[in-house]
Chains A and B, each alone.
Chain A
Amino acid sequence: MTLRELHPGESGTILGFEPSAAVNRLMEMGMVPGSQVQVVRVAPFGDPIDLRVRDYHLSIRKSEAALIHISRHEG
């Protein structure tokens, strides 16, 4: 599944990426395969989303979230 499918409050582990120009930027910001990511909230008009990555907040659009494969943490 992709990060886009996570609901606010849910978290997961990054597995890999769809190829895109945005990917290297995302990785530089700390979203590398294996790192944990939590969806904190969705912006008031439905896009972008607010993530917690490596202890800080990162905002990306849903279209970018759809490039990120994750496995969801249960519970």
Chain B
Amino acid sequence: MRVALCGNPNVGKTTLFNQLTGLRQRVANFPGVTVERKAGTLAGAPHVEVIDLPGTYSLTPRSVDERIAYEVLVGRLEEGPDVVVCVLDAGNLERNLYVVSQVIDLGLPVILALNMMDVAEENGLVVDASVLEKDLGVPVVPITASRGEGIDELKKHILDPPEPAQVYRWQLMDAVDAKIPALIKQLAEEAPHVKPMHLRMEVLRALAEDEALDVWRLEVPEFVNRIVTLREEFAKRGIAWRHAEVSGRYAWIGPIAQRASRRFKGPATLSDRIDAVLTHRVAGPLCFLLILVCVFEAVFSWAIPAMDLIEAGVAALAGGVRLVLPAGWITDLLTDGIITGVGNVVVFLPQILLLFFFLGIMEDSGYMTRSAFIMDRLMKRVGLSGGSVLPLLSSYACAIPGIMAARTLDSERDRLITIMVAPLMSCSARLPVYTLFIAAFIPAGKLMGVFGYQGLAMFSMYMMGTIMAFVAAAILKRVVFKGPPSYFVMELPPYRRPRLRQLFWRMYQRSRVFAVRAGKIILGCSIVLWFLASFPRTETSPEAIQIEEQAIQERNIEYAAAQALTPDRDLTVAADSLSLVDPILAYALDLTAQADVKYAAALDSANIVRQSAQIRGSAIGYLGRILEPVMQPLGFDWKISAGLVSAFAAREVIISTLGIIYSVGDAEGGVALRDALKADQYPDGRPVVTPLVAMSLLVFFVFALQCMSTLAIARRETNTWRWPMVMWFYMTTLAYLASLLVYQGGRLLGFS
């Protein structure tokens, strides 16, 4: 048996779902769309499956959520439900009953769960369930989902479902109603697959909605023509055919809601008083800004210890594996490729979890809609809407949670545009790259004695990305995602206290989805990149061998010198107890110890030289040299080009790659690498990395999409490779052109 939960957003549907199923639930996606399909089994009745449908105000398919809810209910997407539980907010009866009236007309057994009676009462409203029951002809169960009250009663009704209620009890205006039977007959003949029970609803929505009509255009053109003619006829007679259904339904449910509820005090609520501050002309934007600053401060600073811990853990794990397994390329693949690659993803989890936590609080408390309310005016200018503010701001931390947060947007077009521009916001992975090159090539002085040049450079990186995100959004809106202007109709639900258990549960599920799905793709790419950096093998490096041989020679000489001081003692036996009383022996032992340290350091640098030779000879080094002619106009030599290739996986990888190429080890942002970059010269003595080249590279990093995780999550959220591909190409092109402009423009202006 299958039970579907439906109802408006923000009525406590998910709380009820958790109460009914316990935590026996699965989250997946409906096929072909990114709408979450949450299902579980009824606690105490494992044969009953409960599906939590997306919150909808109506079953008319205008948003993806509404289409999904409708298609599940009529059994088009998957086997239809046997019972529907409609969840209602008692404080908002009329609007909640609208979708109920549509569900009743589907001819399924319907049970109403009347939620939040307590909140309604606090706000001065009493609802009489028995009046609703009588007038609508369906069982009504008062519940308080947050405290688990009324759940048993509701379960009883689910396990013993009522008969379907009488359908179409409301009146369509006569002029329209007269035309419906003929249309139903025609659709029944031409589209026999539509269940007889759903014919009337299909006809009504085809009449009222252009998009619903378009669905039939190919299949039953005769039916479509008839409706088009009918619409023209209605228009001529001055009949409001578009509104016929909605007006009819409200004319039915309005009086029912009036009869069922009684108000004993005015509607001013605590929520209204909070809004008087949080959406105030002056205080509102200030509070919004303050909340943002706090959230980002928390996401950046609280996550860092956890991220350090994960990085240390990953390094320790790789080190441990190296100790256990024999040396060889399979071990290298496991440690450098797989463990490090997956570690690169896992390291973002603390930030993602924290961001989800704060976003969850904003969503559940109702503040998210207020932030959209405040920011809509500014966002509209660039073709987005207020709802895009938080996804875009989240992307300053990391584009992945930002892209996932775009789910809260109603308009599919706004959601896609937001996803497409989110990676232009400078994320935290760019920060180490910015830091390295700014510290190395931007002078430390101050502009007008106040603003440090380096700080200004950093700020302009962030501004450049942000402005470009808005420009890209405006262009995408006008060129790619053309269409009728979208509208902004958004409920401002009453403020509510977020429920932590529910919040943590959702955080866990969302981040698991991220780790598993994105992880798989990244694992694959990491392995490929490792192979590219490791093959073909450069087994011997004459330079490294020479360093090693020289180190051995020097150590032997120093050993001999120490031995000469005390010819009758064996210096290879360390910590001779005689050294406590014999200063000469102690000195000689000290000398050999120093020789050992020098030797170990020499072996390390030989190793780095060997890695450097390996990268130079590998496919990535080769790619770097192939790319060099293409990248030269941007000022990049083969080393930086190879670094860019390796940074395809994750931006910060360029630092360790450059570290290896310049044979200074991969201490991130290290002073050694900074100096090596400054000292590097072309054969003719010109410096390889000038301040202008550094600027060009920085600009490249601002715009380029070098992050497999972002591509993976965009693929997941859009369900096609098309948008991630478009995203990658437009951003890479943008990065190339911007760098070209900076470098060539800079040279024309006389910079070097």
Contacts and interface: CB of A to CB of B under 8 A. Distances in A.
A59 interface: yes
A29 B57 contact: yes
Nearest to B211: A21
A47 B378 CA distance: 9
Contacts of B240: 16
Contact of A28 (B60, B125, B386, B488): B60
B377 A60 contact: no
Nearest to B490: A59
Interface in A15-37: 16-17, 19-30, 32-33, 35
Given A44-B374, A59-B492, A28 B98 contact: yes
A55 B258 CA distance: 12
A24 B92 contact: no
B491 A59 contact: yes
Given A43-B376, A59-B369, A27 B246 contact: yes
Contacts of B275: 41, 50, 57
A62 B309 CA distance: 51
Interface stretch (B279-287, B337-345, B453-461, B589-597): B279-287
A24 B209 contact: yes
B247 A32 contact: yes
Interface residues of B, number: 48
A31 to B, nearest CB: 9
B94 A54 contact: yes
A45 B374 contact: yes
B243 interface: yes
Contacts of A55: 91-92, 94, 125, 267
A26 B95 CA distance: 11
Contact of A54 (B95, B281, B490): B95
A58 to B, nearest CB: 6
B377 A23 contact: no
A24 B369 contact: no
Given A55-B92, A57-B492, A59-B373, A43 B279 contact: yes
B377 A47 contact: yes
A60 B377 CA distance: 11
A24 B373 contact: no
Contacts of A43: 279, 284, 373-374, 376-377
Interface in B448-497: 484, 487-493
Interface string A48-65: 101010111111110110
A9 interface: no
Contacts of B62: 24-25
A57 B366 CA distance: 12
B250 interface: yes
Nearest to A20: B487
Given A17-B243, A25-B487, A32-B243, A56 B92 contact: yes
Contacts of A58: 489-492
A75 interface: no
A43 B57 CA distance: 24
A33 to B, nearest CB: 7
B242 interface: yes
Interface in B253-279: 254, 267, 272, 275, 279
B88 interface: no
Contacts of B272: 40
Interface in B39-85: 57-58, 60, 62
Interface string B199-240: 000000000111000000000000000000000000000001
Contact of B95 (A30, A50, A60): A30
B250 A30 contact: yes
Contact of B250 (A16, A20, A32): A32
Interface string B174-214: 00000000000000000000000000000000001110000
Given A54-B92, A57-B491, A58-B490, A30 B98 contact: yes
A64 B488 contact: yes
Interface in B347-384: 369, 372-378, 380
> By CB atoms of chain A within 10 A, which of B62, B279, B281, B489 has the most?
B489
A35 B719 CA distance: 41
A61 B375 CA distance: 12
A20 to B, nearest CB: 8
A48 B372 CA distance: 10
Contacts of A24: 60, 62, 208-209, 242-243, 246
A49 B243 CA distance: 23
A19 B243 CA distance: 10
Contacts of B282: 44
B249 to A, nearest CB: 9
B209 A59 contact: no
A48 B694 CA distance: 44
A61 B95 contact: no
B371 to A, nearest CB: 11
Interface in B477-531: 484, 487-493
B471 to A, nearest CB: 20
A9 to B, nearest CB: 13
B487 A61 contact: yes
Contact of A25 (B210, B374, B489): B489
B126 to A, nearest CB: 13
Interface in B421-438: none
A37 to B, nearest CB: 13
Contacts of A29: 57, 95, 489, 491
B242 A50 contact: no
Given A24-B60, A24-B246, A29-B489, A48 B95 contact: no
Contacts of A41: 275, 279
A28 B99 CA distance: 9
A60 B486 CA distance: 12
Contacts of B98: 28, 30
B285 A44 contact: yes
Contacts of B279: 41, 43-44, 50
B243 A64 contact: no
B264 to A, nearest CB: 14
Nearest to B89: A56
> By CB atoms of chain A within 10 A, which of B58, B279, B380, B493 has the most?
B279
Given A47-B377, A57-B493, 11 more contacts: A24-B62, A26-B489, A28-B58, A28-B60, A50-B373, A50-B492, A52-B267, A54-B92, A55-B94, A57-B275, A59-B489
Leading 7 A-B pairs by shortest Cβ distance? A22-B487, A45-B377, A57-B492, A27-B246, A28-B58, A47-B377, A30-B95
Interface of A: 16-17, 19-30, 32-33, 35, 40-41, 43-48, 50, 52, 54-61, 63-64
14 contacts: A20-B487, A21-B487, A25-B62, A27-B243, A28-B57, A28-B246, A41-B275, A43-B377, A44-B285, A54-B95, A56-B92, A56-B493, A57-B492, A58-B492
